[in-house]
Amino acid sequence: MYRNFAIVPRIIFGRGCFNQLDDILADRRTGGAMVFLVDDVFENTALMKRVPAEKGDIVMPVNVDEEPKTAYIDELVARLQQGGASTPDGVIGIGGGSTLDIAKAVSLLLTNPGSATDYQGWDLIKSPGVYKVGIPTLAGTGAEISRTTVLTGPEKKLGINSDYTLYNQIVLDPELLAGVPRDQWFYTGMDCYIHDVESLNGTYINEFSRAYGEKSLELCRQVFLEDHDDSDDKLMMASYFGGMSIAYSQVGACHALSYGLSFLLGIHHGIGCCIAFQQLDEFYHDGVAEFKEMMDRHGITLPTGVTASLSEADMEKMISVALGLAPLWENCLGPDWQRLMSRNRVRELYERM
C-alpha cells in the first residue's frame, strides 16, 4: 500500500517575506483573534515588534527551554479558552522546531477535546485544527513541513501524527535565521543533515524521497562545508527538502536513539541527534565521517558521558524507548531488524555517548 500523503498547501519563501504575514492573515480574519505563539527568546526584540497583531489578537510567548510536553499544550489551550479565545481565527507559531510543534498542537487541541496525551499516535485526531501558520526562525528540523508534532507525555515521547497536523501556510523567510547562536544553528542544521543520511541510506528509500534527500544533502554540504553569502536561504530550503524526503521514507537509528536521550535525559532533539550520530559509524559510515568534518570546520565539541549517571532502571527504560520505534529500525536495518538490534547492542551504543 502506498501512502497518499498530504503536504502544506501554501508556502511563501524569500528574504523579507515575513512582512507579508499581515496580508496573508487578513484573508483569514472573521472577527476572532489571531493567536501568535512566539518563542520567548524574542521577547523585547525587533522581531516581536514586527508581529502584525491587531486589536483583540493575542501574542503569547512560549517557553522551549524544555522540549514540548503534553501538559504544557494542555495549559496553553486552557489559558486561551479561559481568556475567551476558544475559537480563534488562527494560530501562528514563530520560532524553532519546538515552537512550531507547540503551535500545531495548540491548533489541534482547540478543536479536539481532551488532553494532548489522548492524541499521541497515528491518525487519532478527528477534527481539523484551527487555521495555522508556521514561521521558522531556525532551520533544520523540518517541523514546518511534517505531519507530526513531537510531544513528551508522562508515558512516552511520541508525535501527534495526522494530516490535520500539517500547517495550512508556512512562511520561509531566511532573514529570520540571522542571529541564531552558532551551536544552536549547527545542531539544528545537523538534524536536517541526519534526516537526509537516514532517509537516503534506509531500506524505505524510493525515488521521491531520494530526489528531495539528495538536494537537501547537497545544500547542507554547501552550508556546512563551504562559504556562501546565501547560506541561510540554502539551509532553509535544505530543511524543507529534508522534511519532504523523510515524509515519504523514514528516519533511522540515530533518531530512535535520540528519542531515548531526550525522554530520559531531557536532551534537545538537535544536540541529541548529534550525540547519537557520531557513534553510528557502523550504520552510516560516510555520513558520520562527513559529519565529523563539519564539526571540525565549525569548532563544535559535543558533551560526552551523558548516559554515565543513569540508573540501571533508567538505562533499561531508555533502551525500551529506542527499540519501541520499530519503523525507524526497520528503515535502517530491514525487516530482520529485531534479530540484528538486541538490547545489548543498543546499550553498548548508549554507553559510548
Binding site for Fe ion (CB under 5 A): 191
d(CA 11, CA 47): 20
Nearer to Fe ion, 173 or 196 (CB): 196
Nearer to Fe ion, 35 or 160 (CB): 160
Place of cell 519563501: 13
Q: What distance lies between CA 141 and its chain's CA centroid?
A: 4
CB of 86 to Fe ion, least distance (A): 32
Beta bridge partners of 172: 13
Nearer to Fe ion, 168 or 245 (CB): 245
Nearer to Fe ion, 90 or 136 (CB): 136
CB of 302 to Fe ion, least distance (A): 16
Nearer to Fe ion, 18 or 259 (CB): 259
CB of 127 to Fe ion, least distance (A): 27
CB of 291 to Fe ion, least distance (A): 14
CB of 168 to Fe ion, least distance (A): 22
CB of 203 to Fe ion, least distance (A): 19
Are 144 and 240 spatial neighbours (Cβ–Cβ below 8 Å)? yes
Nearest to 177 by CA among 242, 92, 101, 94: 94
Nearest to 278 by CA among 259, 299, 253: 253
d(CA 10, CA 140): 19
Q: What angle do CA 250, 323, 271 make, to 5 degrees?
A: 65
In the DSSP assignment, the letter for residue 347 is H
Nearer to Fe ion, 47 or 150 (CB): 150
Nearer to Fe ion, 132 or 268 (CB): 268
CB of 309 to Fe ion, least distance (A): 25
d(CA 196, CA 232): 18
Nearer to Fe ion, 89 or 191 (CB): 191
Nearer to Fe ion, 85 or 332 (CB): 332
Nearer to Fe ion, 32 or 287 (CB): 287
Q: From residue 146, how far is each of 33, 217, 244, 250, 256 by CA, in Å? A: 25, 18, 8, 12, 17
Q: From residue 126, how far is each of 106, 132, 230, 334 by CA, in Å? A: 15, 17, 41, 32
Give the nearest residue (CB) to Fe ion.
Answer: 191
CB of 266 to Fe ion, least distance (A): 16
Cβ atoms within 10 A of the Cβ of 153, count?
A: 18
Helices 231-247 and 207-225 pack at an angle, to 10 degrees, of: 150
CB of 41 to Fe ion, least distance (A): 20
CB of 129 to Fe ion, least distance (A): 22
Write out the DSSP string of 150-166.
EEE-SS-EEEEESGGGS
Write out the DSSP string of 204-248.
T--HHHHHHHHHHHHHHHHHHHS--TTHHHHHHHHHHHHHHHHHT
